[in-house]
Amino acid sequence: MTTDFDYAADVARTYDRDRYLSALLAPEDHRAGLMALYAFAAEIGRIRDVVSEPLPGEVRLQWWRDLLEGTEHGAVASNPVANALLQTVQTYELPKHSLVAMTEARIFDLYNDPMPSLNDLEGYAGETCSGLIQLACLVLNDGKDPETATAAGHAGVAYALTGMMQALPWHAARRQMYLPSDVCSRHGLDPETVFRGQTTPELRAVLSELRGHARHHLARVRQASAEVPAACEAAFLPLALVEPALKRLESADLDPLKDDPRMSRLRRQWILWRASGRVFGKI
């Protein structure tokens, strides 16, 4: 019989395979909770892809906020991801405000407004990615505070910045700009050239700076790794993909607007498996 958690695992596997695989490599007792979190994050992260206009997307995000804040929804019983998430929140006493903050940050995805600054981008990454890592740490630590906020904060920014650069061709195709305006201005990048698919020296300079920021946060994770309980390492496992991805992104042969920068599924799976149980020695 398929459970709500089985359904959540299917959603995570379909829309966020890297985190799905990292959950499979986590202790069995906590895999279901991780799958519920990752399925929720995947569901709100792909709303832009399933709506034709921002308003229906905002309605969907509001539905999740209402659910988390206790507003009654008759449709909850028919939403397996919502059921699995609420059970996980209850089991591990997860802070709902962190989940609500994730939905609020995702409003940015629905519009084509420019990302104002690097500080704003890091804040967005903190709400959407760092918060998820911290929640995963709580699950893996049986709901007790694992004191991983610093490591999770830097890990989420490194992971999100790298993912944003990998997604640049798709974002540019729909005139969506996550490259921070202040960084673009510093290097003289005209966003319109990005939307036209023109890979310019200015764009490469912006991406080079952002890769440097991602590596800075990766280094801060290494510095804070001694504070991370061994039980929580699986929450950081996707971080093992960051440095290999950054190396691929900085290849002179890669056109950041025309080429698919992602590593093969098999290689990503191998990297995650190899890093399992010793992730901080592999990032």
pLDDT on residue 107: 98
pLDDT tens digits for 14-65? 999 999 999 999 999 999 999 999 999 999 999 999 999 999 999 999 999 9
**CB neighbour list of residue 270: distance below 8 Å, 6 or more residues apart:** none
pLDDT on residue 182: 97
Residue 174 has pLDDT above 80, yes or no: yes
Residue ranges making up the domain that contains 245: 112-283
Q: Do residues 120 and 217 both lie within one domain?
A: yes
Write down which residue in 81, 110, 139 finishes a domain: 110
Q: Do residues 92 and 133 both lie within one domain?
A: no
Determine whether 237 is exposed, middle or buried from the number of CB atoms within 10 Å of its CB (0-12, 13-18, 19+).
Answer: buried
Q: CA-CA distance, 23 to 234, in Å (whole number)?
A: 7
CB 197 within 8 A of CB 259: no
Q: Do residues 124 and 46 both lie within one domain?
A: no
Q: Do residues 66 and 119 both lie within one domain?
A: no
Write down which residue in 110, 131, 150 finishes a domain: 110
**Banded pLDDT at 269 (limits 50, 70, 90):** very high
Q: How many domains is the chain partitioned into structurally?
A: 2
pTM over 0.85: yes
**Banded pLDDT at 95 (limits 50, 70, 90):** very high
Residue 76 has pLDDT above 70, yes or no: no
Residue 120 has pLDDT above 80, yes or no: yes
The pLDDT > 90 percentage for the chain reads 92
